[in-house]
Amino acid sequence: MELTHMRTWAEIDLDALEHNYHTLRAMAPAGCRFLGLVKANAYGHGGVPVGKKLEELGADMLAVACVSEAEELRQGGITRPILCLGQTPVELAPLLVDLDVTQTVEDLETGKALSQAAQAAGKTLKIHVKLDTGMSRLGFLWRAGGDNSRLLEDIAALCALPGLEAEGLFTHFADADGSEAYTMDQLTRFLDAKKALEERGIGFTIYHCGASTAVLHYPCTHMNMIRPGIALYGYYPAPELAGLDGPGLEPVMEVKSRIAAVRKVPAGTCVSYGRTAVLKRDSRLAVVPIGYGDGYPRQLSNRAFMEIHGTLCPVVGRICMDMCMVDVTDLPEVKAGDVAVVYNGALLEQDAEMVGTIVYELLCDVAPRIPRVYVQGQGKKKL
C-alpha cells in the first residue's frame, strides 16, 4: 500500500536502531557478545525486519519469548543463534532442534526430555541454564548462604546429558533501576554459582545477566554478553539513566496518522462518547484515525497531545476504537490529509506516564493492524 493511502502507520527508523546498537555495544568490553532482544515482535517494531538488521549489524544472538517467535524469525530467513527465554513444551522439542534454537532450561526434568528429543533427531540442542538469583520468575533457585548442593548436582547432571550442549549460564535482575544493593546481591549470587560450578569442572562459553539498565548503569554485570532490549529501541529504562551511554539513544519508532477530516464545531458542542468534553469556544477539530483498537490507550482521552505541523495539539473527548478528535483551532492551516504524529520519543514517554505504565507496554500495544514502514538512509525524512 502507498504510504499516502495508509490511515495510520508506524515508521521504524533502522538508522536509529543502528545508532543504538553501536552505542550500546561500545559500552561493553571488547570481545563481549551482544544479544538483541526481539521478543514480542521486537517490542512492537517487527521481529523479522529488526532481527535481520541486527544480524546484519553483527549481533551475536537474538532472543525471543517463545518458540513460535523463533519460528517466525527462521521463516523470515534469520540464521543467527536464537535464544528462547521462555519455557517450551517438551512436545515441541523436535521443533527447537529443527529450527536450531537455543533453549533456556531451569530444571533437570525438562533437560532430560530435551536431551531425548535431540538424540532422537540425531542432533545437538544448545541450552542456556537459567539461575534465579532474586527475580522469582524462572530458573534454578540459588540460595544465598544456603545449601545449594542439590542445585549444583542437578546442573551438573543437566550439563552432562547427551544431545545437549550447555553453552550459557544466565540470570535476570529484578530491580536494576531501583536498588543497587539488591542488584549487587543478585550479581554476587550469580558469581557464587558460577564459581561453585567451575569448582566442579563445569564451565560455560557464555555468561550473561545485564538487560538495558545494567548495560547502561552497571559495567560489572556485562560478563561476556550483554542483553539489551528497550535501549536498543531508543528508550532509557529510567530517566536518571539518560545520557549514560554518551551519544544518547534515538527512539526507533514514530506512530503517525493521516488526518481524516477537519471540522468546524461551535462553542458548547459535546465531543465523543459520554460527552466528556464540551467545547469552550468555536473550534476546529481534526478527526485522527487512530484509537484504542490500534493500541492507543483509551485512558489518554482528554489528556494526550499529538504533534501536528510541529505544534502539540490536545486530544479532545474520549478516544474511540478507531478514531479520536484533536483540537486544531489554533492551527488554521491544518487540513484533511495532513500528518499527526501520535508517538515520537517524547510523546510516548509522556503518554506512558499519564497512563501509569512504561514505554515498553505502549510499544508492545501498537496493534498488528498498524503497518510498519521501515526507513533508512537518504530520503527517510520525506515520509
Ligand X SMILES: *Cc1c(COP(=O)(O)O)cnc(C)c1O
Binding site for ligand X (CB under 6 A): 37, 39, 85, 172, 211-212, 227-231, 237
Q: Which is nearer to ligand X, 37 or 152 (CB)?
A: 37
Residue 85 or 285: which CB sits closer to ligand X? Answer: 85
CB nearer to ligand X: pick between 219 and 274: 219
User: 234 or 289, CB closer to ligand X?
Assistant: 234
Alpha-carbon distance 146 to 144, whole Å?
5
Give the separation between CA 254 and CA 176, rounded to whole angstroms: 27
Q: Quick check: 283 and 329 in contact, CB under 8 A?
A: yes
Q: CB 212 → ligand X: shortest distance, Å?
A: 3
Is 273 labeled as catalytic in the residue annotation?
yes
- CA pair distance 94, 125, nearest whole angstrom: 10
* Whole-number Å distance between alpha carbons of 233 and 362: 13
CB of 85 to ligand X, least distance (A): 5
Round to whole Å and give the CA distance between 295 and 278: 25
The total of other beta-carbon atoms located within 10 Å of residue 240's CB is 11
Least distance to ligand X, CB of residue 283, Å? 41
The grid coordinates of residue 232 equal 536498543
Please tell me the distance from the alpha carbon of residue 320 to that of residue 95, in angstroms, as a whole number.
Answer: 41
Nearer to ligand X, 43 or 305 (CB): 43
User: In angstroms, what is the minimal distance from the CB of 228 to ligand X?
Assistant: 5
The active-site residue out of 39, 52, 130, 194 is: 39
∠ CA 190-359-4, rounded to 5°:
135
Is 382 part of the annotated catalytic residue set?
no
3-state secondary structure of 311: strand
Minimum CB separation of residue 138 from ligand X in Å reads 9
Q: 283 - beta bridge partners?
A: 265
The β-bridge partners of 264 are: 284
Give catalytic residues, as residue numbers. Answer: 39, 273
